[in-house]
Amino acid sequence: MQTSIFLAKLIGPVMLAAAIGLLVNREGYRAMSRDFLDSPPLIYVSGVLVMTAGIAIVLYHNVWALDWRVIVTLFGWMGAIGGAVRIISFSWVKRVGVAMLGKPWAMTIGGVVWLVIAAVLCFYGYFA
């Protein structure tokens, strides 16, 4: 449980700041996303970093309980898999990213989902 709380305290505030930033500055994040997708080396390097962080989380927190801790585990697995996809096929990542940017509400929906998950992690990390 201590590992779960530590990771919730670590991941929650970062996700919260990113979600709020996305919701408050949608056009800025859209422009930043376009720039990111135009840089295969940046996609690759982010894949290395995200995969490393995801594997670290999975190695120390592979908890499949029917409670809030599974969010941390899923976050780790998504990082490991998402990072690997960025490393292996950055051109596919660009195609999917550009398609998502073409949907006007995709970033808002993503921001709201991240905000809710971040709030849950912050709650259990800091207040529960």
Query: What pLDDT was estimated at residue 24?
Result: 97
CA distances from 94 to 21, 36, 90, 102, 111 (A): 22, 9, 6, 12, 20
Q: What is the mean pLDDT of residues 97-119?
A: 96
pTM for the structure as a whole? 0.93
Helices (H) and strands (E) in the chain, counts: 6, 0
Asked if the model's pLDDT at residue 112 lies above 90, the reply is yes
**Could you give the CA distance from residue 29 to residue 58 in angstroms, rounded to a whole number?**
29
Quote the mean pLDDT of the chain. Answer: 97
Q: What is the mean pLDDT of residues 43-62?
A: 98
SS3 40: helix
Amino acid type, 90: F
